[in-house]
Amino acid sequence: MRQYFTVISLTLLLLATAGFTECYKPVTGSGVLKNIKVVAVPAFQFEAQGVRYRVESRFTEAVSRELIRRGGGIKVQSTLNRADAVIEGTIRDFSFTGVLLDSEGRARVYEVTIVTAVTVRDLRNNNIIYDNQNFIFRDSFEFSDDPRSFFNEEDPAVERMARSFAAAAVSAFINGVGVREEKK
């Protein structure tokens, strides 16, 4: 009886998991158009209110580094000269607000929110490959209770968000998410 129960259990387990074989499909090829060998990443624009030190350059550098790391041999440059595609970005909003107060009513934990826009254009065929005008990234940082050990966490928070943005934007571009099909 025990062997019968074991065989039935294993059979049911096998049948149950067999239905999930199509759920996971690894990315086997790049969604990047085959004619794209050189990608221009010009400096991102900054349209947000207020001045933040080097936010747009951090995002630009992060996208360039991520493209080099994951682009499979794609050359990255800052100018449009001889580029096959361009990734254009704009920092549309940058804000930080206190989200956690200490016992004296002072903000100790802040949330940084950055809204960006990104467009990838195929310069050879003059069409938009990918467009997202509402990339939103949030991160938090904490101020120390002790003024002697104060370290401004805003810069590392912006760096983390730039890397997250770059990973998301490059993934969408490399894997062909949102790639527009040409009608023939």
**Of 95, 97, 103, 76, nearest to 174 (Cα)?**
76
* 114-123 tens-digit pLDDT: 888 989 899 9
How far is Cα 63 from Cα 117, in angstroms, rounded to an integer?
A: 13
Which of 48-52, 71-75, 86-90, 100-104 is the least confident region? 48-52
- Residue percentage of the chain with pLDDT more than 70: 71
What integer is the mean pLDDT of 173-179?
64
Q: What is the mean pLDDT of residues 135-160?
A: 69
Which contacts (CB < 8 Å, 24+ apart) does range 49-56 have?
A: 49/93, 49/94, 50/94, 52/94, 52/158, 53/155, 55/91, 55/94, 55/114, 55/158, 56/89, 56/91
pLDDT at residue 183, as a whole number: 45
Top pLDDT among 108 and 60 is at: 60
Indicate if the pLDDT at residue 178 is higher than 80.
no
Q: What pLDDT does 116 receive?
A: 87
Of the two residues 75 and 19, the one the predictor is more confident about is 75
Q: Which CB contacts under 8 angstroms, 24+ apart, belong to 58-64?
A: 58/158, 58/159, 58/162, 59/89, 59/91, 59/116, 59/162, 59/165, 59/166, 60/89, 61/162, 62/159, 62/162, 62/163, 62/165, 62/166, 63/87, 63/89, 63/165, 63/166, 63/169, 63/170
* pLDDT grade for 50, boundaries at 50, 70 and 90: low
pLDDT mean over 133-162: 71
Single-letter code of the amino acid located at 153: E
- Mean predicted confidence (pLDDT) in 160-181: 74
Query: Has residue 64 got a pLDDT over 90?
Result: yes
Beta bridge partners of 142: 109
Distance between CA atoms of residues 135 and 128, nearest Å: 17
Homologous superfamily in CATH for domain 30-174: Lipoprotein like domain (3.30.160.150)
